[in-house]
Amino acid sequence: MFVGRVRARGGAVTAATAGAVAGLALVASAALVGCSGSSGSGTDASSSPTASAGQLPPVIVDLGDVDGTTVEVALGNSIDLTGDDEHFTAWSAEIADPSIVEFVPGSDDGSAQFNPGLTATAAGETEVSLSNAESGDEVAFTVVVTE
């Protein structure tokens, strides 16, 4: 199942929600700091558009930075495609090997908005081409799913 970031409708965030988000960010930050020395990959996902499979799910990738890169994701995890707040429901995908990743379109259910994304369904490597029918934007990148 795809788990993506959700945007509050209208931008309103309650104090309780903000506190919960801050608490989750603190826990995630502590977990990443605790794991950062053991990965051995030498890749710093914060300074590169290429995401690392060592990140906690989902792997967050900005649509404005992903073109021409390689994104690694662990089997069973997902890639959250961010950066398009206006046309996020109009993205579609062509996947060279659809047995490796599955595209999940962006959606708006009236109370929350969900980014488009990819779910890693099998180990391997595949090319992904995304296009947006409303904005005319196109990006292509490689996804490597690790076990």
* Tens of pLDDT, residues 21-72: 444 444 444 444 444 333 333 333 333 444 455 556 799 999 999 999 999 9
Residue of 35 and 105 predicted with greater confidence: 105
Amino acid at 1: M
CA distances from 123 to 1, 21, 66, 81, 143 (A): 16, 32, 20, 20, 10
pLDDT of residue 4: 55
Percent of the chain with pLDDT over 70: 62
pTM of the predicted protein model: 0.64
Taking residues 109-131, what's their average pLDDT? 97
pLDDT of residue 33: 40
Q: What residue ranges in 9-122 does DSSP mark as E strands?
A: 59-62, 70-74, 78-82, 91-95, 101-104, 107-108, 112-114, 117-120
